[in-house]
Amino acid sequence: MPNLIYQAQPPLEFIPPAFKPWFLEAVHLLLPTWLRWKSAISQIEADDVEVLVDLYRQFQEGKIRFLIAFRHPKTQDPFCLGYLFSQIVPKVARQMGVSLQHPIHAHFIYDRGIPLWAGSHIGWIASSLGGTPIQRGKADWTGLRSARDLFANGRFPMAAAPEGATNGLSEVVNPLEPGIAQLGFWCAEDLHKAGRDQQVLIVPIGIKYSYVEAPWNAIAKLLSELEAASGLPGDTKVYNNISPIESLYPRLLRLSERLLSLMEQFYTRFYHQKLPEVKNQTEDANEVIAARLYVLLDVVLQVAEQYFDLQPKGNFSDRCRRVEQAGWNYIFREEYKDIKALSPLEKALGDRVAEEANLRMWHMRLVESFVAVTGKYVREKPTAERFAETTSLIRDMVTRIRGGNPFKSPPLGKQRVKITIGEPLSVSQRYPVYKASRQGAKQAVADLTKDLQQAMESLVVKGE
């Protein structure tokens, strides 16, 4: 994390949503200018917005409750959704002759950890926009109750990223967390108990980034910087009459091999980890790199898990969330609610624990950046976008290792954003199965999560 936490502190407080209409109005007013001057985004367009317009019409007429489940490849996604709500939806509604009450907005769920690295003011901003926080790695009942109440009773629809975190890749959807489906069934349950006949829906939304002009020169420059940082000699070959991807791809493979070797040596030598041997059963360099990366990520996570006495259960994303929560538990502690009751020595020991926990979480952050990397992303579709995204992920890792802030990395070029509205998934139609039995509820959540995953993956293709 950019802002390292070296001291033990009281438990993280829940930040209650406190929607301020005047603040949303100011955000909507300033957002187009902010995007133009402070971001790399030069154009935002959307497909099938008519679906969303009709959903807002039905919501405002009291017929439905719905949650927007959006793709989350980059940290700029919330700004793109804000533009969708404030600019595109009202415009399309006017074209359709549909009268919508303003503002068009959504309550949203955000990670409670964001204000820790982005600044405490982000908590105030999120709260003022009607957002509610959640601690991802534990059963955060306060956060869940707030989200559940907003879904059933809030002034606006809900919005959440079912992937749980960004992955940096526009065309790869991380495994979805089941919490979004569970929220949908809770909403249906709450409406049923209250005698309300509103239908509950989940609406998948795709977000895809592309470059206005292929940033091959910027990619080549970034590769040179990464090669120098990792101790590789610069590429002096002369490439004539071949495409940029053909000239740069060998360098990307060479850089990947170098970084893997350095990190393997680092964890073997200094953390005494034994790396399982990756048998070279293919001559495909991509397959070998992918296999080595998987083994390395597993070992890196184990370094953090061993410190926190955690068992490696689930996929990489699940394990990252548990490590994160274990770290928060070491840093934000109940006994620090009354810090005056602690002796100076107790406080100093607590600070040592907090410092060590934060350092162990650093290993998890490395893995978090690469959970979606397969080794085939560029090869199977060698576009400038995929090359840039992969190279940027490597840059972020190198930046993190060198103690920098990966969130402040400069963009490689101007981008356009394509938002695609998917077909709503009915939660209400599945509710009878959910309420029939405990096993039925478990299966209903799993099935809805699976269907949402497929829907969001289909939007990746549709948004091309």
| pLDDT per position as a tens digit, 271-289 | 999 998 877 666 678 888 8
Give pLDDT, residue 139: 83
**Structurally, how many domains does the chain consist of?**
2
Same domain, yes or no: 94 and 78: yes
Percentage of residues in the chain having pLDDT higher than 70: 96
Query: Is residue 2 situated within a structural domain?
Result: no
Query: Is residue 220 situated within a structural domain?
Result: no
Query: Is residue 224 situated within a structural domain?
Result: no
Contact (Cβ atoms closer than 8 angstroms) between residue 210 and residue 247: no
Domain that holds residue 253: 243-408
Same domain, yes or no: 342 and 297: yes
CATH code (residue 104): 3.40.1130.10
* b/e burial code for range 357-388 (CB count within 10 A of at least 16 → b): bbebbbbbbbbbbbbbbbbebbbeeeebbbbb
Same domain, yes or no: 383 and 281: yes
pLDDT band at 164 (very low <50, low <70, confident <90, very high): confident
Percentage of residues in the chain having pLDDT higher than 90: 78
pLDDT digits (tens, 9 = 90+) for 106-134: 999 999 989 988 888 999 999 999 999 99
Give pLDDT, residue 239: 58
Give pLDDT, residue 116: 86
Same domain, yes or no: 343 and 432: no
From 173-187, 208-222, 238-252, 446-460, the region with the lowest mean pLDDT: 238-252
- Mean pLDDT across the stretch 66-92? 96
Query: Is residue 441 situated within a structural domain?
Result: yes
Q: Which among 394, 384, 417, 379 is positioned nearest to 215, based on CA atoms? A: 384
Q: Which residue has the higher pLDDT, 21 or 276?
A: 21
Same domain, yes or no: 86 and 193: yes
Same domain, yes or no: 207 and 255: no
Same domain, yes or no: 316 and 441: no
Give pLDDT, residue 220: 93
The sign of the torsion formed by the CA atoms of 333, 338, 341, 342 equals: positive
From 40-54, 93-107, 238-252, 410-424, the region with the lowest mean pLDDT: 238-252
Contact (Cβ atoms closer than 8 angstroms) between residue 156 and residue 107: yes
Q: Which of 408, 423, 452 is the last residue of a domain?
A: 408
Query: Is residue 8 situated within a structural domain?
Result: no
Give pLDDT, residue 237: 62
Give pLDDT, residue 66: 98
For residue 3, pLDDT beyond 50: no
For residues 106 and 51, what is the distance between their CA atoms, to the nearest angstrom? 16
For residue 157, pLDDT beyond 80: yes
Query: Is residue 144 situated within a structural domain?
Result: yes
Give pLDDT, residue 396: 92
Query: Is residue 248 situated within a structural domain?
Result: yes
pLDDT digits (tens, 9 = 90+) for 318-367: 899 999 999 999 999 999 998 889 999 999 999 999 999 999 999 999 99
Same domain, yes or no: 126 and 266: no
Same domain, yes or no: 73 and 208: yes
Query: Is residue 201 situated within a structural domain?
Result: yes
Q: Which of 408, 428, 445 is the last residue of a domain?
A: 408
Same domain, yes or no: 303 and 192: no
For residue 91, pLDDT beyond 90: yes
pLDDT band at 2 (very low <50, low <70, confident <90, very high): very low
Give pLDDT, residue 281: 64
Contact (Cβ atoms closer than 8 angstroms) between residue 168 and residue 158: no
- Mean pLDDT across the stretch 417-438? 97
- Would you call the peptide bond into 276 cis, given omega within 30 degrees of 0 as the criterion? no
For residue 380, pLDDT beyond 50: yes
End-to-end CA distance of the chain: 33
Same domain, yes or no: 266 and 302: yes
Q: What is the pTM of this model?
A: 0.92
Same domain, yes or no: 104 and 184: yes
